[in-house]
Structure 1
Amino acid sequence: MKTPALLLAAALAAATLMPAAADAAQGRLVVYTSTPNKAMADLITAFNKAEPEVTVEFFRSGTTEVLAKLDAEFAAGSPEPDLLLIADSVAMAGLKARDRLAAWPDAPVEGLPVSSYDQDRTWFGTKIIATGIAWNTAAGLPAPTGWADLAAPAAKDRVVMPSPLYSGAATIHVGTVTATQDLGWSYMEALKTNGATALQGNGAVLDAVATGRAAYGVLVDFMAFNAAAKGSPVGFVYPAEGATAVTEPVAILKTARNVDAARAFVAWLLSEDGQRFTVAQGYMPLRPEAGAPPGRPASVKLLEVAPDTLAAIGEETRRHFAALFGG
């Protein structure tokens, strides 16, 4: 026979559980992202298997254009997104400095590399997207091994790269390379002297390399591997000096209308299930237990510069790059 105290405890427990069920993630969730349209649509489908009551809508463009749209909305006092899922932590560091991001102290980051998320837990890396060198394997030219090869005579007038004026990954790449002692702006100037040209984004670089209009391209890894798997004559190498990388961080805005759904989205991305889906999409995961895409090395040597440093030099990086390669 249960005592009154036990009955009261059971009633309180039931009352505690009932709101949790009622507060399950649901409703409209708006995401602004630089993730390619098809990849984002597939991600939402996978997320909805775990959270079927959330209706995800998204706006997609390059990181620079996403941020420009968001800035205009902030200025008008009507920011639309609940979440940002964009290429680089530098942009997130800038938004955090402007007090635009909501902290989530209890975010599920256990087991993730400490360097992959903001220590105040306002943004969280979701994957590793490394930038290296793609080349047209049908061009009859030597396979590259490092960044120096793009400034060599064999690559003259045959190198393309994404512009940091459009691409967040390119901003990280140029900022990291120019802040690295053995490369620096002298390396970028050597590329210009060797006839390298800047295109709008990584997609344009891939197209130029795959069609043979360029022999070599500075490109994010997953695009090259995905193209090769579909039969394009595209090879890829992680440079011996070290690749640059972005972690495609996700963040909840302070102005988010649907915080519960936003947290559910972030939690799923960081979970083992979410990380395994990352691998299935051809990206390197942050959780080693999620495995790796076929044909990738177990680890990649990276050139690393602190996000706050890259954020501080971001405008100068873009100005200097535009002066060299044009807008």
Structure 2
Amino acid sequence: MTRILMLSTALTGLALPALAQTLTVYTSQPQEQMTEVIAAFNEDHPEIEVELFRSGTTEVMAKLQAEFAAGESPADVLLIADAVAMTQLKQDDRLMAHPDAPVEGIDPALLDAEAMFFPTKLITTGIVYNSSMVEAPTSWADLAAPEAAAQTIMPSPLYSGAAAIHVGTMVQQPEFGWEYFETLAENGAVAGQGNGTVLEAVARGEKAYGVLVEYMAMNAKAQGSPVDFVFPSEGVTAVTQPVAILAGTDVPDAAKAFVDWQLGRAAQEQSVAQGYFPLVAGMAAPEGYPEADSLSIIGADNAALLSDGEDVKMEFADLYGG
């Protein structure tokens, strides 16, 4: 269910100056984390009041596109788990360049050449499992076995940007392709909506295995949930949760301040505390995680992810329902 949350600098207990600016952020990052993000941002920028719209990436993008079709969007900044969607917005001239953004320490391969959007963290997709029900799997192939597939749930690319990247990336790989997802479906695997539905199903024991972004599983484990996470032997798919400024913003300085803060040390340290891999070189991964440079990341053809995105969603819906 789409939810609208209005968060302001009241979270910090600081009074706004008379010339305060209001910044509207559309995001797919979990609500409780964004509460922390905005509170920390307002410690450095009490003059900027933040209004937040939060939902899954696919629903955020649908809202944004509907607003564009109607004339304009109130959004100033977009923070979503989908560089492919950002690429589409860039091609449609919907983003504003920010060439002065502080990108020191970030792998240049992750940066947009025209400085239209910027990575904020590394999020990988692997396997969550209920550690009180089953032994740990080791590979993506393990999930395709009939006994495992019947106990597997995954997020749908119709709701989750990370899921769209995951499915799109996996079907590009010769060793997986659509055959892998067809086998999963034939053997009883199901799709939920977003990543939250997957975690809930596995944590409650409704399913033994799930396809999930790592930080949700690791955070739940740290909080005592009977789950654990596997980085599969074949590798993980990954997104960078990019942030961008919308071209139609009427508060460009506030928008740039938010982007700059997201790329800075304070935000990266907060991301690690929230269970994300950092993007800035020299920062340690969260406790219990492998170091980011040790991960095997399954490569993707981003141009194909963009051109094939709708076909991937339709094919997935045909297999698992819309």
Indicate whether the TM-score tops 0.5.
yes
Question: Could you say which residue in structure 2 is the equivalent of 1:319?
Answer: 314
Amino acid corresponding to residue 225 of structure 1 in structure 2? M
> Paired residue for 1:48, among 39, 42, 48?
42
Question: Could you say which residue in structure 2 is the equivalent of 1:293?
Answer: 286
Instruction: Name the % identity.
Output: 55
Q: Measure how far apart 1:319 and its partner are.
A: 0.8
5+ residue gaps, structure 2, are 1-18
Are 1:142 and 2:135 matched, yes or no?
Answer: yes
**CA deviation profile, 1:116-157 (whole Å, cap 9, x unmatched):** 221111011100111000000011x23111100100133041
State how far apart, in whole Å, the 2-side matches of 1:290 and 1:52 are: 27
State how far apart, in whole Å, the 2-side matches of 1:142 and 1:193 are: 23
Given that residues 124 and 251 in structure 1 are in contact (C-alpha distance below 8 angstroms), is that contact kept between their aligned partners in structure 2? yes
Question: Could you say which residue in structure 1 is the equivalent of 2:23?
Answer: 29
Q: Measure how far apart 1:111 and its partner are.
A: 1.7
Q: Could you tell which deviates more after superposition, 123-132 or 147-156?
A: 147-156
Amino acid corresponding to residue 236 of structure 1 in structure 2? F
> Paired residue for 2:299, among 287, 300, 304?
304
Question: Could you say which residue in structure 1 is the equivalent of 2:254?
Answer: 261
What is the CA RMSD across the aligned residues, in angstroms?
1.2
Amino acid corresponding to residue 48 of structure 2 in structure 1? V
Amino acid corresponding to residue 107 of structure 1 in structure 2? A
Q: Measure how far apart 1:26 and its partner are.
A: 4.9
Q: Could you tell which deviates more after superposition, 158-167 or 114-123?
A: 114-123
Question: Could you say which residue in structure 2 is the equivalent of 1:181?
Answer: 174
Amino acid corresponding to residue 254 of structure 2 in structure 1? A
Q: Could you tell which deviates more after superposition, 114-123 or 244-253?
A: 114-123
Secondary structure of the 1:257 match is coil
State how far apart, in whole Å, the 1-side matches of 2:52 and 2:283 are: 26
Q: Could you tell which deviates more after superposition, 219-228 or 269-278?
A: 269-278
> Paired residue for 1:65, among 33, 53, 59?
59
Secondary structure of the 1:231 match is coil
Q: Measure how far apart 1:271 and its partner are.
A: 1.2
Given that residues 137 and 235 in structure 1 are in contact (C-alpha distance below 8 angstroms), is that contact kept between their aligned partners in structure 2? yes
**CA deviation profile, 1:57-100 (whole Å, cap 9, x unmatched):** 11001111111111111111131110000111011011111110
Are 1:87 and 2:92 matched, yes or no?
Answer: no
Amino acid corresponding to residue 110 of structure 2 in structure 1? S
Secondary structure of the 2:96 match is coil
- List, as ranges, runs of 4+ consecutive aligned residues in structure 1 with deviation greater than 6 Å: none
Amino acid corresponding to residue 302 of structure 1 in structure 2? I
Question: Could you say which residue in structure 2 is the equivalent of 1:162?
Answer: 155
Matches within 5 A, 1:178-257: 178-257=171-250
Secondary structure of the 1:290 match is coil
> Paired residue for 1:112, among 99, 102, 106?
106
Q: Measure how far apart 1:51 and its partner are.
A: 1.3
State how far apart, in whole Å, the 2-side matches of 1:115 and 1:145 are: 29
> Paired residue for 1:126, among 120, 124, 147?
120
**CA deviation profile, 1:4-42 (whole Å, cap 9, x unmatched):** xxxxxxxxxxxxxxxxxxxxx951110000011101110
5+ residue gaps, structure 1, are 1-24
Q: Measure how far apart 1:308 and its partner are.
A: 2.6
Which protein has the larger Cα radius of gyration, Structure 1 or Structure 2? 1
Given that residues 106 and 281 in structure 2 are in contact (C-alpha distance below 8 angstroms), is that contact kept between their aligned partners in structure 1? no
State how far apart, in whole Å, the 1-side matches of 2:225 and 2:99 are: 44
Given that residues 93 and 307 in structure 1 are in contact (C-alpha distance below 8 angstroms), is that contact kept between their aligned partners in structure 2? no
Using structure 2 for the length normalisation, give the TM-score: 0.91
State how far apart, in whole Å, the 1-side matches of 2:152 and 2:81 are: 23
Given that residues 101 and 251 in structure 1 are in contact (C-alpha distance below 8 angstroms), is that contact kept between their aligned partners in structure 2? yes
CA change 1:156–1:67 in 2 (3 A) is: closer
Q: Measure how far apart 1:110 and its partner are.
A: 2.0
How many aligned residue pairs are there? 302
Given that residues 272 and 290 in structure 1 are in contact (C-alpha distance below 8 angstroms), is that contact kept between their aligned partners in structure 2? no
> Paired residue for 1:280, among 257, 273, 294?
273
State how far apart, in whole Å, the 2-side matches of 1:236 and 1:134 are: 4
Given that residues 169 and 301 in structure 2 are in contact (C-alpha distance below 8 angstroms), is that contact kept between their aligned partners in structure 1? no
